[in-house]
Amino acid sequence: MYHSALKVAQLYYNHSMNTDEIAQAMKVSRAKVSRLLNYARDEGIVEIRVVDRRDAADPLVADLTTRYRSLTNLHIVNVTQDCSAAECLNRVTQAAAAYLADNVFSNNQIVGVAAGETVSLTARNLKRRGYRGIRVVQLQGNTVAGPTGIGYIAGILQPFGDILDAELLLFPVPFVFFDTETRRRMWDEPSIRLAREYQQKADVYIFSVGIGHLTWERTLIHAGLDDNVERRVLLDHSIVGDLAGVFFRSDGSYNDLSVNERASGPPLEFYRQVKHSVCIASGSDKVPALHAVLEAGYVSDLVIDRHTASLLRGFQP
């Protein structure tokens, strides 16, 4: 069936033959030609992209791509003035799922996926396209939701695996380690080392920005860390957000932050290396963190609602 579908697709798309002409040439019915064309699309033999060129003429797009030089692809989602935070997020994640399918995903990729509500909602909106050879790797350790976080992580990764027909590479470590020595020893484990290698070799990262103090507050109770000490660290260093549990300052710097010595997420340099570093964001509270990661060059593709994008354009740290 695959070879028949390939031949039909070539005749239809490359040689501009209609279904009647193909049916006569191959001595099959029109209905079978239609089924083979549908099969070709479902199996990824044919990839169809919808290119919306309205963004190119949008002054807001021009302003943000001029301000943030690493931003090569910006998709702004129009929302109404009275759009609630939940509805805006839902609209953005629907648009992000379509953007990933039309512009980012392709066969034989390594896709790094971060945990979080935004990515989880995006996963639920993905549509099957018949990809082949994709591997999905977890970017940070198991989060603080539930006793271990494994069910929460699996609930985000599994939709990506199902829709992309992908192999899943789990990263079975804590979201944050109790001490640096534990992390060092865990990094030496072969299965953990393999997952970290895939994180570094990834073609795509999919994530949102976390708000620094909120992420840390959710972590403290599960990690057995000193609340007062860690709060002081966050305040002293003006931390504004995190990517997959790695915290950063308003200028995007992160290497010398003590809180990151126990973090499980990949170094932020990796975000500059991947072909598509896709950030999905909605909400005014994320603007300071968004500015930091864009200014530091950690984001190449951004899907954002218009209200948040307008606030980002006028933001002064």
pLDDT in tens, 28-42: 998 888 888 888 877
Q: From start to end of 86-163, where are the E strands?
A: 110-113, 135-138
Q: Where in the chain is the domain with CATH 1.10.10?
A: 2-42
Identify the burial level of 255 via C-beta atoms within 10 angstroms of its C-beta, where 0-12 means exposed, 13-18 middle and 19 or more buried: exposed
List beta partners, residue 112: 137, 205
Q: Which of 209, 211, 206 is nearest to 164 (CA)?
A: 206
pLDDT average, residue stretch 6-19: 82
Residue 213 confidence class, pLDDT cut points 50, 70, 90: low
pLDDT of residue 317: 82
Q: Where in the chain is the domain with CATH 3.40.50.1360?
A: 53-313
In this predicted structure, the answer to whether residue 50 has a pLDDT above a threshold of 60 is no
Q: Estimate to the nearest angstrom the gap between the alpha carbon of 306 and the chain centroid.
A: 19
Q: Which string of b and e fits 25-58 if b means at least 16 CB within 10 Å?
A: eeeeeeeebebbbebbeebbbbeeeeeeeeeeeb
| Topology annotation, domain 53-313 | Rossmann fold (3.40.50)
pLDDT average, residue stretch 222-241: 59
Least confident of 39-48, 116-125, 139-148, 257-266: 139-148
Specify which of 5-14, 226-235, 258-267 reaches the highest per-range mean pLDDT.
258-267
| Token couple for 174 | 């804590």
| Token couple for 249 | 């300052």
We find that the CATH architecture of domain 2-42 is Orthogonal Bundle (1.10)
The distance in angstroms from the start CA to the end CA of the chain is 58
Q: Which of 290, 243, 241, 298 is nearest to 269 (CA)?
A: 298
pTM, rounded to two decimals: 0.78
Q: Write down the mean pLDDT value for the chain.
A: 85
In this predicted structure, the answer to whether residue 144 has a pLDDT above a threshold of 80 is no
Q: Estimate to the nearest angstrom the gap between the alpha carbon of 272 and the chain centroid.
A: 14
In this predicted structure, the answer to whether residue 219 has a pLDDT above a threshold of 60 is no
Residue 200 confidence class, pLDDT cut points 50, 70, 90: very high
Residue 4 CA to residue 13 CA, distance in Å, equals: 14
